[in-house]
């Protein structure tokens, strides 16, 4: 599946000149799509396992965007776990309220997470935003802080996602954008009257597939981070018509408590 080379093409949402409202529309769409597609149930066992193996009592979600699949996943966990949502550029529009959910008000760089944000770090659909050195810095920061980290990617560097999968994105955006809450009339105009969002989201989706780290890339990322007392493991599980690729890093010995 990862025979294609990894290409770090540019994503519009990463560009400083790209309007913030379009970037926020993209992550709000992504969160809604994942919720409606039932991805919460798919990633919940990974989160559950990360919590159980690390002993963490809180989830610190990095690169949260519109909340990703985490809020839906939370409903499938055996016990309620507090969640802190963080991002370098927090999405101010997405609806991410609920009991036990905190939106961190300050920007948080996933490569330098403040010490007070202890807990299981989760990174959904975002490791591919970093070039290899940056991606390794995200992993190293967690390791040096002694905090477990779970990375999950739903995009894939495969022919099917890069062709048929991408062609469907504009159509999916047309139907998912009206489901985003709260409703933003501008986003609906930029979807149905002037189809800017279907095109920008499709481009970023296509580029995301090219940038995704497959299992071999993950091996290369963590190889220099191998150290005694720390476990890196990864896998690729079926999820609907595609796969979910995950990486879990954690201290070998379950700590008494890791989190608030």
Ligand X SMILES: C[S@@+](CC[C@H](N)C(=O)[O-])C[C@H]1O[C@@H](n2cnc3c(N)ncnc32)[C@H](O)[C@@H]1O
Least separation in angstroms between CB 163 and ligand X: 20
Distance CA 211, CA 13 (A): 14
Task: Compare residues 118 and 127 and give the one whose CB is closer to ligand X.
Answer: 127
Q: Which tokens belong to 28?
A: 């709000």
Task: Compare residues 118 and 154 and give the one whose CB is closer to ligand X.
Answer: 154
Closest CA relative to residue 249, chosen from 236, 234, 259:
234
Instruction: Give Cβ neighbours of residue 206 (< 8 Å, ≥ 6 apart).
Output: 162, 166, 169
Instruction: Give Cβ neighbours of residue 26 (< 8 Å, ≥ 6 apart).
Output: 13, 65, 197, 200, 201, 204
Task: Compare residues 111 and 212 and give the one whose CB is closer to ligand X.
Answer: 111
Task: Compare residues 64 and 200 and give the one whose CB is closer to ligand X.
Answer: 64
Least separation in angstroms between CB 65 and ligand X: 3
Distance CA 139, CA 89 (A): 20
Task: Compare residues 207 and 222 and give the one whose CB is closer to ligand X.
Answer: 207
Instruction: Give Cβ neighbours of residue 242 (< 8 Å, ≥ 6 apart).
Output: 154, 156, 160, 161, 165
Distance CA 258, CA 260 (A): 7
DSSP E strand boundaries for the chain: 59-62, 83-85, 101-103, 120-124, 149-153, 230-239, 242-251
Residue 184 CB coordination number (10 Å): 16
Least separation in angstroms between CB 256 and ligand X: 29
Least separation in angstroms between CB 200 and ligand X: 13
Task: Compare residues 77 and 231 and give the one whose CB is closer to ligand X.
Answer: 77
Binding site for ligand X (CB under 6 A): 27, 30-31, 62-66, 68, 87-89, 109-111, 124-126, 129
Least separation in angstroms between CB 236 and ligand X: 17
Least separation in angstroms between CB 228 and ligand X: 29
């Amino acid at each position: 599946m990862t025979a294609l080379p990894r290409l770090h093409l540019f994503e519009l949402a990463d560009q400083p000149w790209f309007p913030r409202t379009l970037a926020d529309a993209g992550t709000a769409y992504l969160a809604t799509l994942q919720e409606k597609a039932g991805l919460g149930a798919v990633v919940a066992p990974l989160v559950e396992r990360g919590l159980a193996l690390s002993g963490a009592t809180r989830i610190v979600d990095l690169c949260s965007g519109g909340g990703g699949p985490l809020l839906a996943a939370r409903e499938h966990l055996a016990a309620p776990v507090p969640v802190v949502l963080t991002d370098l550029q927090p999405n101010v529009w997405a609806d991410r309220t609920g009991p036990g959910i905190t939106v961190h008000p300050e920007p948080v760089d996933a490569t330098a997470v403040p010490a007070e944000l202890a807990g299981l770090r989760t990174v959904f659909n975002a490791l591919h935003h970093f070039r290899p050195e940056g991606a390794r810095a995200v992993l190293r920061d967690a390791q040096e802080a002694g905090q477990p980290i779970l990375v999950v990617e739903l995009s894939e560097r495969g022919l099917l996602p890069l062709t048929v999968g991408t062609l469907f994105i504009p159509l999916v955006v047309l139907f998912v954008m009206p489901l985003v809450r709260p409703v933003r009339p501008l986003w609906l105009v930029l979807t149905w009257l002037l189809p800017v969002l279907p095109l920008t989201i499709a481009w970023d989706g296509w580029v995301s597939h090219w940038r995704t780290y497959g299992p071999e890339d993950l091996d290369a990322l963590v190889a220099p981070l191998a150290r005694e007392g720390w476990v890196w493991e990864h896998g690729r599980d079926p999820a609907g018509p595609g796969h979910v690729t995950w990486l879990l890093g954690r201290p070998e010995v379950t700590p008494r408590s890791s989190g608030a």
